[in-house]
Structure 1
Amino acid sequence: MTKETIDHLATIFPINREALKSKSKHQRSVSILKEFSLNTSAHGIPSIARSHTIQNRLFWIVSSYFQYPTQTSVSFVTEWPQAFTAVTICNYSPIRYDRFIIPFLNYTNMVNLTNTNSFTMELSLYIHDFLLYKINRNESINDFFYSLDSMMMSCVYNRMTCTTANFTWFLSPVYGLCYTFNALLKNVGITGLKYNSDNGINGLLDLRLYAHQFIFNFVILKIHVMLKQQQKL
């Protein structure tokens, strides 16, 4: 419709000039989409289209979401006898200073990092490099870590004495050698597990451990303990 036609009709009929102008492509698309939304049988879409503000639409969406029925399924499994949990202990300071310091200082002198017979805070930055050096040469580093014999003062489970033979060791990148009591071993299976009801006591493990000296970059003196379900090692 031309501008002259619109002006002519506006002088004859009392209507708004803007009403005679063609709608833009965007307006037509919005109109078609709104008409579809108002008449569709899809659940919730007409209610969203009838809302006048975005806030109302968001409120309706959230409200409808929480109106959907939910079902919670809870099941209880009774196991008897029940296996005692696996208990893992690690020395928070993984390296034994008395066994570590001489080989480490020899390494730092060999690679011209230092020329000293004493340990300093700066040298602790090269501990990781030293351990990698030993591993790459296929040399054992187990002697630098704490053995269970050197840490465990006593072990009693359900009033029965336990020994280092009841623990399984593994190497942790953070804590060095760690030891697990009541681990599920592949070659033994569940027959090697200890149960809560053993000896008529309700699963009581009494461990007494000695925390050794630490080196400078490990300033906390304590034992790290983890409890978990049995997993095959």
Structure 2
Amino acid sequence: MTLLKEMGESSTLRQLCHNIIEHTSAHGIPNIFRSQHWLRKLVWVIFVSFALCCALWQCTEMVLTYYTYPSYEKIMLVSSARLKFPAVTICNLNSFRLSAINKNFRMSSSLQDSGLDQTHRRNRSHSWNSTLDHYEEHIQYAGAFNKFASEFNLLSDEEKVDMGHQLEDMLILCNFHGQECNESFFAGFINYKFGNCYTFNSQKATDIRGNPISPMVLNTTKAGFMYGLHLELFIQQIEYVRDISHAAGIRLLIHDQAQMPFPEDEGVNIPPGAETDIGIMKVHIKRLKSPYGSHCTEGDGIRNFYKDVYGAGYTREACKRTCAQQSIMEHCGCSHWEFASPKDLGYPKCNLSVPGVSDCVQLYEFKFAHDELNCNCPLQCQEEIFELTVSGSQWPSTAFMGNFAKDLKEMGGQLSAIANDPVKMRDNLVKVVVYYQQLNYELIEEEPSITEIDLISNMGGLIGLWVGFSVCTIAEFFELFVDILLYFIHRCLRAPTKPEYKSPYMEKGGSIYMAPKSTKI
């Protein structure tokens, strides 16, 4: 009430504004009121208006730029004394063992009926048609292979595992960081193209048959050839199927443990008869979530069949394959063998011999291959990739051949059968070494170009540059606003009253006019 009384006793509203603005800390504005000549006032009004317009324009541009959410990539080389060793997945380039197919009458008949043996008989009599013949052969082979794969897909998972190459038959030697390792360090999964695939250091608790294995994390504290993973493998070319396997060796992928490997699209081939050394350099990528440009996700709210079946994390490729499987399920009424499918969904496996199913599956295979499916699959926010440096040499060497043959004979089985023939040894044996080239990694991190603090600081700098405003100046204008508000509140509370008419004769103590008495003369 005291403050309202003071406001009521103050001068007019014009004088109130004049007093505060004339003494404000904002540059330029007080000079309008201090100038005595009208020309000076006009010049200051024009200049202050121009400065205010420039400040408003630049601040508007800065706010609009901020809401486009720009970002930049920061690249750092991070040194570390210990690095987690990646997961290493190996697949034999031959998907089914010949002996297992011969024991299964249904699969043996399907192999003969598929026509795979007919797809390699190209007519080379016309050299001008070689490209066309090659394309036609590819189409024929793909159709024949799909026909055989459809029959294979109808088998149970246990039967599929039994038909593929077994890790205990393939693994001759495993050594990591100078310590011996064995089959208990490998998990596994079934791939439609390569059959049984085995993953070293997957950190999963079970192997390909569901048996418990060691899920411990393997780290490396030294860089270089001696401190990596050394594998010696027997690829069993005697078990290769002539009409399916066109190359011999191992398909190898290096990936993060949370990532689902897709050997049909990723990885490198390791040939037999050679030692292949793979030096790796880790690259860790961090992206920003929406509304920034990458629009990455952690996979929340996005269905991932590979997480349901294999426990793998979200990746863009896993999302696209899940989307393709969902499209096939919805439109074809079955689950395709190329993609993961949870059993609880209840969809039968696709059988291409059923009328209409083959055409439907081929249609969505084509759409998936040409990225024509309407899938919401943003990039993952965190990703680890590994850059590879691959080199090779002949293995085993001629000098080492004799001693190595003795070791193979002691192991027995199919290994002893190839020990007496150097050609067969080089045709069936693979050695691969995977190691870190250096104990540091490249970090590529996406960061905002403009943060909230940057926006406020830049706007404050622009306003200070053009009109000299500061936080204290804003407080002065806020004070002016409060004063004007109080002024009008006081005006409203002071209700105007009309003066009442009072007879001077009714007031006490007032003088009374009396007419003079008449006198007789």
With the length of structure 1 as denominator, give the TM-score of the two structures.
0.55
Cα 1:230/1:140, change in 2 over 3 Å: same
Aligned pair 1:184/2:192, yes or no? no
Match for 1:184: what amino acid?
Q
Aligned pair 1:223/2:242, yes or no? no
Question: What displacement does 1:104 show?
Answer: 4.4
Question: What displacement does 1:120 show?
Answer: 6.9
> Which residue of the partner structure matches residue 121 of structure 1?
117
> Which residue of the partner structure matches residue 207 of structure 1?
231
Cα 1:72/1:154, change in 2 over 3 Å: closer
> Which residue of the partner structure matches residue 194 of structure 1?
218
Cα 1:76/1:127, change in 2 over 3 Å: same
- Tell me if the contact between 2:171 and 2:234 (Cα under 8 Å) persists in the aligned partners: yes
- Tell me if the contact between 1:86 and 1:180 (Cα under 8 Å) persists in the aligned partners: yes
> Which residue of the partner structure matches residue 82 of structure 1?
83
Q: Distance in 1 between matches of 2:195 and 2:233?
A: 16
Cα 1:120/1:209, change in 2 over 3 Å: same
With the length of structure 2 as denominator, give the TM-score of the two structures.
0.26
Cα 1:89/1:106, change in 2 over 3 Å: closer
Can you give the 5+ residue segments of structure 1 that lack an aligned partner in the other structure?
Answer: 1-41, 44-69
Match for 1:178: what amino acid?
C
Can you give the 5+ residue segments of structure 2 that lack an aligned partner in the other structure?
Answer: 1-56, 59-70, 120-143, 207-211, 259-310, 313-521
RMSD over aligned Cα atoms: 3.8
Q: Distance in 1 between matches of 2:184 and 2:205?
A: 16
Cα 1:177/1:106, change in 2 over 3 Å: closer
Q: Distance in 2 between matches of 1:155 and 1:148?
A: 11
Aligned residues: 157
> Which residue of the partner structure matches residue 108 of structure 1?
109
Shifted more, 83-92 versus 98-107: the winner is 98-107
Q: Distance in 2 between matches of 1:78 and 1:140?
A: 47
Q: How does 1:41-80 map to 2 (within 5 A)?
A: 72-80=73-81
Cα 1:203/1:230, change in 2 over 3 Å: farther
Q: Distance in 2 between matches of 1:139 and 1:177?
A: 11
Match for 2:190: what amino acid?
L
1:34-65 CA-partner distances (Å, limit 9, x unpaired): xxxxxxxx99xxxxxxxxxxxxxxxxxxxxxx
1:83-103 CA-partner distances (Å, limit 9, x unpaired): 111111000111111111231
SS at match of 2:152: helix
Aligned pair 1:98/2:125, yes or no? no
Q: Distance in 2 between matches of 1:147 and 1:131?
A: 18
Question: What displacement does 1:147 show?
Answer: 1.1
Question: What displacement does 1:139 show?
Answer: 6.3
- Tell me if the contact between 1:152 and 1:208 (Cα under 8 Å) persists in the aligned partners: yes
Shifted more, 140-149 versus 202-211: the winner is 202-211
Question: What displacement does 1:77 show?
Answer: 4.3
Q: Which is higher, the Rg of structure 1 or of structure 2?
A: 2
Q: Distance in 2 between matches of 1:90 and 1:134?
A: 20
Q: Distance in 2 between matches of 1:100 and 1:191?
A: 33
Q: Distance in 1 between matches of 2:196 and 2:80?
A: 33
Question: What displacement does 1:159 show?
Answer: 1.4
Q: Distance in 1 between matches of 2:215 and 2:164?
A: 30
Q: Distance in 1 between matches of 2:84 and 2:76?
A: 20
Question: What displacement does 1:218 show?
Answer: 1.1
SS at match of 1:141: helix
Match for 1:132: what amino acid?
N
- Tell me if the contact between 1:104 and 1:130 (Cα under 8 Å) persists in the aligned partners: no
Identical-pair percentage? 19
- Off by >6 Å, runs of 4+ in structure 1: none
